[in-house]
């Protein structure tokens, strides 16, 4: 099952959604316009694109601050741990 969490700028405006699928791949859905949940009438989010790699300088359309997106190290660690575990299971099968 996919995990979803919001990705915000330094001031809490939502720049997009981060999802991680069952294979540990982390992706960012970038909103065309940042969403300010403190506003009286927040704009409806519109997804501009989906990225899996690093994206430099994503600018918040509300406050103008800039962030760089990179897939989390945590996701990579989990992926590597899973690969290691699978190798271990294969070895056990061969012995028994
Ligand atoms: Zn902002």
The answer, yes or no, to whether residue 91 has pLDDT greater than 60, is no
Question: Which pLDDT belongs to residue 80?
Answer: 67
The share of the chain scoring above pLDDT 90, in percent, equals: 43
Q: What 3-state DSSP class applies to 18?
A: strand
| CA-closest candidate to residue 2, choices 24, 18, 16, 20 | 20
Q: How many CA atoms lie within 13 A of 70 on its CB side?
A: 5
Average pLDDT of span 31-53: 91
Contact 31, 48 (CB under 8 A): yes
- CA of 32 relative to ligand 1 center, distance in Å: 13
- CA of 16 relative to ligand 1 center, distance in Å: 12
- Cα 20 to Cα 78: distance, rounded to the nearest angstrom: 11
> Please, which pLDDT band fits residue 73 given cuts at 50, 70 and 90?
low
Domain ranges of the chain: 3-71
Average pLDDT of span 67-92: 65
Average pLDDT of span 76-89: 62
Question: Which pLDDT belongs to residue 54?
Answer: 87
Question: Which pLDDT belongs to residue 83?
Answer: 66
- CA of 20 relative to ligand 1 center, distance in Å: 24
- CA of 23 relative to ligand 1 center, distance in Å: 31
- CA of 10 relative to ligand 1 center, distance in Å: 6
What are the strands, taking DSSP E only, across 1-96?
A: 3-8, 14-20, 26-35, 47-51, 55-59, 66-69
């Amino acid at each position: 099952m996919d995990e979803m969490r919001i990705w915000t700028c330094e001031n809490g405006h939502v720049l997009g959604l981060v999802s991680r699928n069952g294979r540990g791949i982390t992706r960012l859905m970038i909103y065309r316009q940042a969403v300010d949940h403190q506003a009286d009438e927040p704009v409806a989010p519109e997804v501009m694109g989906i990225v899996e790699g690093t994206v430099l300088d994503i600018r918040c359309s509300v406050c103008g601050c800039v962030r760089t997106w990179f897939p989390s190290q945590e996701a990579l660690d989990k992926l590597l741990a899973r690969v290691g575990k699978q190798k271990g299971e294969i070895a056990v099968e061969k012995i028994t």
